[in-house]
Structure 1
């Protein structure tokens, strides 16, 4: 509904009053004799007797009630206009508050099938599950932003806080410079920062899961965009152990803090960046007699190319390389840091859109858990320190903007020296993602 300006409302009130008086004027005209009848003299027998006491003209007292009635109506109309203006102001304030609030979320339901891990048929699985159930609330004003995201899934650890950020937009910078304090994603690389709802493969690559498990931590971060968004910088100081560290929940297990940052560029068709990480983990490794500081350093390079040269859809090519010391390794449901251990890895991804609703993605990622160490065999199996390369193929179909179906098949290939048997751990994933 379009709201009228106050001046337009007053003109409308005046017009309404005139239209309201039109019927009265029309009745008056109908009661008056036609012009030709008025000009004709009345017969003498029908002529009314002259009344000398009747006034010859209408007095001012007879016109006063009509003028008073019009003034009263005008006063009422102006009051209604003022009330509408007040309601208009309240409505605009309510709409502004709703515009600042953004609610979003998504659910990823899955079916997975993994081959048996050895020839005896043991291991592997066939299961249904809910991988992610995210609810996100963001409230943004000219100078501040609050963002809270939770993950509610039936499996352990159940409902958890993923993001809890309080952001200040530095005054005078038009939201191009900001300072954030709370729990947030590490500003490192590309895939770790990318939303899981936008990724073409069901899970992040092995190298990202090792160096940046759960992608988040508690700390403080400065972010800035320069040269009309072509250059971006994010740097911060973090605990360094992630949100599921080995201390009690919500704590860091040492006094050391890690410095993490990324400097990137975005030219539209080409983007990328350089990431760095420097810190220490104060802990006791199995080979240590006492607790000591273990180096936690990383260097990352990433690039993304977006092309639109094929007639049936756009093409994107993405890649990332990370090398450093110290990473996390899953041992059952617990992540254990490999203190000071050098590791490296990379991945390459090609995504080809087919029309507006289909896409094909092919990804290869490679991870060396002990950079420079020779692959070995332990009791006829590849050692846990051997390199692993994974080839993944994914087919995607979009049912509009709110529903995406992904069918992915991954083939991990663990380096197996002579006499060692490679695990049969190929994995099929069917995922349906609904979002709002």
Structure 2
């Protein structure tokens, strides 16, 4: 029987009394590779060589661990410069009133509304607006609107200020705000509705006779909850012909002599309006009431027959109350307004025709409309409006008294957002706005192209 080297080692360990506990170490040693062959060492010298000096370097100074880098300061959000917050938009209306009509009367004119009525008129710029607007501060917004299609005397396309004001909000939600400058006076619905959105080509005489150009210089306070402000915006942006955001409650004081005219007395007008848009089923409805009071100082001048229109006192009572209803077209819509009050007016009888006094006035309008969406990718809105008014026009020389009955049938064709075409047929029975203020009847066919930018 052959005895392996491993067995021989174990036997030697047992015979020598070595503990079996050391066997693994012995085994490890027995399995270790054999040591290298001995190398002959050189003969020792007579004296041992001194040990070489050991170079001892100074210990490096202890360096404290580097502190963690400090967190960078929070980034300060810089406000944009005010000029980067200003936006620009606008619209232009080009009108032509000489299309064939059933009954043409060149003596039928309307200086307050469409100045292109009457003979010897062709194409005209009815409105040419630019609007500069934006939030220049968290609590301050501006709105500046010049019009480049105004008329002064026989000069057309004159630039003039329509709006120039700042909205100063009291709270962060902008529910409470003051409007300071020249702006629309919160009276009625159609007066506040932009001409860019209105269906009828001109505002009605009954309500618009209260305020020339719908504006004056003053201070107005508006309040509306945030959700109602969003609703006002939706009613405009959605194409439903809203009037814009003039608050649920609007209060104000203003000169009272109408836009771009100086105050002529020390008694400013005061105005108040309450309106509320709500949803009735699937349709939005808005109802409102309001009124104003003040004293008006009008311009009286000699007439062509050399007779003078004499005003009864320099400051005459100028006051009105109004109710408004708007059923937004979804698709059928209806709107109506009626106002009554007193205001400067030329007399009508033989004993009063040369006397201007504060006289009773009343009138209103009603309009039906139907919104047809997605007609070959476009929107059509036909409408029918009737207007009645009996009262003076205080801002015209000698405040002539008007008797107006009009019916307008038209359709607005929204080709796309930037382009609209409106055609209208007007049947009018009204007195002329020029002396001798005779009653005139006639029909007018008009077309207007509006481009928005």
Change (3 A) 1:293 1:307: closer
Q: 1:103 aligns with which of 88, 109, 128?
A: 88
RMSD over aligned Cα atoms: 3.4
Counterpart CA distance in 2 for 1:289 and 1:423 is 26
Change (3 A) 1:110 1:179: same
Change (3 A) 1:128 1:165: same
5 Å-filtered alignment, 1:14-413, equals: 98=84, 100-113=85-98, 115-117=104-106, 124-140=119-135, 141-153=137-149, 155-156=151-152, 158-172=158-172, 174-226=173-225, 228-229=227-228, 232-245=248-261, 251-268=262-279, 269-282=284-297, 291-306=313-328, 308=330, 314-326=331-343, 339-356=357-374, 357-369=379-391, 385=401, 387-413=403-429
Change (3 A) 1:292 1:386: closer
Change (3 A) 1:151 1:222: same
Cα contact 1:178–1:223 (8 A) shared by 2: yes
Counterpart CA distance in 1 for 2:82 and 2:164 is 23
Change (3 A) 1:149 1:116: same
Moved more, 123-132 or 396-405: 123-132
Counterpart CA distance in 1 for 2:82 and 2:268 is 40
Counterpart CA distance in 1 for 2:205 and 2:424 is 16
Cα contact 2:183–2:215 (8 A) shared by 1: yes
Cα contact 2:309–2:356 (8 A) shared by 1: no
Counterpart CA distance in 1 for 2:179 and 2:328 is 30
Change (3 A) 1:186 1:153: same
Counterpart CA distance in 2 for 1:289 and 1:296 is 14
**CA deviation string 1:139-179 (max 9, x = no partner):** 1142111111000127436000110002210034x101101
Q: CA deviation at 1:293?
A: 2.9
Q: CA deviation at 1:194?
A: 0.5
Q: CA deviation at 1:281?
A: 1.9
Change (3 A) 1:393 1:220: same
Change (3 A) 1:111 1:104: same
Q: 1:423 aligns with which of 428, 432, 440?
A: 440
Cα contact 1:284–1:292 (8 A) shared by 2: no
Q: TM-score w.r.t. structure 2 length? A: 0.62
Cα contact 2:329–2:371 (8 A) shared by 1: no
Give secondary structure in 2 for the equivalent of 1:175.
coil
Per chain length, whose mean CA-contact separation is higher, i.e. which structure has more relative contact order (CA < 8 Å, sep 6+)? 2
Give secondary structure in 2 for the equivalent of 1:389.
strand
**CA deviation string 1:40-65 (max 9, x = no partner):** xxxxxxxxxxxxxxxxxxxxxxxxxx
Q: CA deviation at 1:212?
A: 1.9
Aligned residues: 313
Q: CA deviation at 1:238?
A: 0.5
Counterpart CA distance in 1 for 2:193 and 2:311 is 40
Cα contact 2:150–2:160 (8 A) shared by 1: no
Structure with larger Rg: 2
Counterpart CA distance in 1 for 2:310 and 2:121 is 41
Change (3 A) 1:432 1:226: same
Cα contact 1:142–1:175 (8 A) shared by 2: no
Change (3 A) 1:327 1:431: farther
Structure with more of its chain in helix, by fraction: 1
Change (3 A) 1:370 1:159: closer
Cα contact 2:339–2:362 (8 A) shared by 1: yes
Q: CA deviation at 1:358?
A: 1.0
Gaps of 5+ in 2: 1-71, 109-117, 232-246, 301-307, 347-354, 394-399, 432-437
Change (3 A) 1:360 1:144: same
Cα contact 1:116–1:425 (8 A) shared by 2: yes
